[in-house]
Chain A
Amino acid sequence: MLVHQSTTAAGPSRVVVLGADGFLASELRRTLDGARQVHRAIGSREVDLIEASSVERLAGIVQPDDAVVITSALTPDKGRDPATLLKNLRMGENLAALLNRVQCAHVVYISSDGVYDSRLSLVSEDSPCETGDLYAIAHLVREKMLLQACQRAGIPLAILRPCAIYGAGDTHNSYGPNRFIRTALKDGKIVLFGGGEERRDHIHVRDVAGLTLLCLLHRSAGVVNAVTGRAWSFREVAGKVIAALGQPVAIQELPRSGPVTHRHYDIAALIRAFPGFAPMSLDDGLAETGGAMRAKANSV
């Protein structure tokens, strides 16, 4: 659960966003702009967290009053292999070294819901973290590294564990809303595994950015899942995508490779932390994403 260090919402003097070129960080920067929150975005081209020299470079940038948001990670589309795992862990090592070296006011780490046991159909922040996926393992270990460093330095650490994030600008193309929109627009079809029975929670990128901002404003510490609390089957998502696009789209079913599993969230901890948080409905989110992706496709 999250505990707010600041009961009245007041932003830090500056937010340093690491991983600034990524899908979520781009949205977060827009959200920070909208909230008139001063921020400094740092992408891997400026500071490559995999390199040990990143510690020195960031130490010259991060100030004691700064809040640091860590979105940096090599996502599964870059590889789920041991080499990618080690690169992700090296980033964690360097970030922990940074926090051992410089003081800052707050750290927000964007992790993943992949850290939870994939066999669990109902997950809360108290659910056991047990994963065989190397990307999720990287997040889990990095959480521990950062927690240790932050505890040692007395810095509040908020860990957000988002479920599948969708929205215009997502380049990951993983199975779900974005891929469905993309293939519907490009090929006029959506491919489902089996009947698309698996239920998942899908959160719009703007909601994750909004939750990150709320954590920053309240200087929150602890763990919270960044989710909507509603799970939809992939078939339902496909139906909503078709409705949002308003054009004929064929649904193609391919044999599934594994058993049907579902993932729902008990969002009581999220409600406790931010009771006024109102996630975008999937219909609205898909309509917006579909519209943006169609506009982009038409402009190319």
Chain B
Amino acid sequence: MTEASTIGFAGLSHLGTIYSMAAAARSFTVLAFDERRELTKELGMRQFPIVEPGLEETAREHGGRIRYTSEAQELAGCGLVFITLDVATNESNTSDLAPLEALIEKVSASIRSDALLAIMSQVPPGFCRSLSARLPAGLQLFHQVETLIFGNAMERAIHPERLIVGCADPAGELPERYRRYLDAFDCPVLPMRYESAELCKAAINCFLVSSVTTSNTLAEICERIGADWSEIVPALRLDKRIGPHAYLSPGLGIAGGNLERDLVTVQRLAAENGCDARVVTAWQEKSRHDRDWVLRVLFGAGALARSGSVSLAVWGLAYKAGTHSTRNSPSLALLDALPAYSFRAYDPVAKIDREFPAVRQCGSALEAAEGAAALIVMTPWNEFSGISAGEVKARMSGVHIVDPYRVLDGRAFRESGFEYHCRGA
């Protein structure tokens, strides 16, 4: 393999760590760059600051093809360079593009003049067209849309459903160097103009949010009228218009940051262009309502009547299972909402990253349940499903089990004398 066939990745946040490893898994020689020297050193030793199923196994098998560096100049040896810095969002779920802009400037000054540059970072519509006008002449720019799922990112990066490629002009052929890379993933490649690709990610996320929101809406109705959402779901999955992989599990609203970001982007685009996007606002409001489902259940069950003298057990801090991320996590929102209560919390990987004086983070789920008046399962980690009602009963002082995702065996808990609350029934 020639030096120019080395694939470069710049920006080693979650996105870059995963995609660089996926490229290695697809037999490419990879140079992975990040300015943070400590980070590249740790990555070189296979010490990953993120949690993703399959990442360590992939690294063991294919990591030998990746070299990590903190020197941007080394990217000069790459014919194709991906920009893979995750774009952070603020409290309002809007993107801070400044670190990305700085990285692109640094990388574009370091790479060969005939290199191909592909942005994988989460950028809003208009970004690539504007960037292409500013890049050094000769550099060809593409936008490869990332559609990773936290907790399933490695699998999706190695085996994507399709690859979405934004181009200056989709009518033209993709350069051979890039085509070779894309073809290695053995899936449909969908070239489109920059703006379409940028909006495509938001479009995917809007459809996901709409499914999640619709599921939560109907699950809430189920809870009130004696229906059971879990009985309805199989019928929906067998409907070809909805499908077996649709997001039909009720939960606590949207979280994680990426979906929220895209909703804000769509709202901005609609506002700027006079389009009606009120449905997006409704999704956001519904998401806030769903986030507070646990709060309302606890209140309705009388579990909040005494603040100082009871402790509440929380299983799960991450915004979803399979990730360490707590971005917009309903679990942390619950802790925020009830500062006068003492909590015993446990999560297999996520840690509380800010001050919660009344929260004690425990080493196991059962330790967290010790003496608790109520147990709340805030993240559907698989390991919780193996815990029996008897084990919990032996430790808790109260009878309230709040299990929005139905991780536990509801029937067994009810039969053990617990008041069991779940979403959708």
A residues touching B (Cβ–Cβ < 8 Å)?
122, 124, 126, 229, 266-268, 271-272, 275-276, 278
Contacts and interface: CB of A to CB of B under 8 A. Distances in A.
A268 B297 CA distance: 10
Nearest to B291: A268
Contacts of B300: 229
B134 interface: no
A275 B341 contact: yes
Contact of A276 (B289, B296, B306): B306
**Nearest 6 interchain pairs by C-beta:** A268-B292, A275-B304, A271-B299, A272-B337, A271-B295, A276-B307
Contacts of A278: 302, 305
Contacts of B341: 275
Interface in B327-341: 337-338, 340-341
Contacts of B299: 229, 267, 271, 275
Given A229-B299, A267-B296, A275 B289 contact: no
Interface of B: 285, 289, 292, 295-296, 299-300, 302, 304-307, 337-338, 340-341
Nearest to B300: A229
Q: Is the interface of B mostly helix, strand, loop or mixed?
A: loop
A275 B338 contact: yes
Given A126-B285, A275-B338, A268 B304 contact: no
A229 B305 contact: no
Given A122-B289, A267-B299, 15 more contacts: A124-B289, A126-B285, A266-B296, A267-B296, A268-B292, A268-B295, A268-B337, A271-B292, A271-B337, A272-B338, A275-B299, A275-B304, A275-B307, A276-B305, A276-B340
A220 to B, nearest CB: 14
A276 B304 CA distance: 6
A276 B341 CA distance: 10
A111 B314 CA distance: 37
Given A275-B307, A276-B304, A276-B307, A268 B296 contact: yes
Nearest to A275: B304
Contacts of A266: 289, 292, 296
22 contacts: A122-B289, A124-B289, A229-B296, A229-B299, A266-B289, A267-B299, A268-B292, A268-B295, A268-B337, A271-B292, A271-B296, A272-B295, A272-B337, A272-B338, A275-B304, A275-B337, A275-B338, A275-B340, A276-B304, A276-B305, A276-B307, A276-B340
Contacts of B292: 266, 268, 271
A271 B337 CA distance: 8
Contacts of A124: 289
Nearest to A122: B289
Contacts of B289: 122, 124, 266, 268
Contacts of B295: 268, 271-272
A271 B304 contact: yes
Contacts of A267: 296, 299
A153 B363 CA distance: 50
A271 B299 CA distance: 7
Nearest to B337: A272
B406 to A, nearest CB: 22
Q: Which of A126, A268, A275 has the most CB of B within 10 A?
A: A275
A275 B295 CA distance: 9
Nearest to A276: B307
Nearest to B308: A276
A229 B341 CA distance: 21
A278 B296 CA distance: 12
Nearest to A273: B337
A85 B212 CA distance: 45
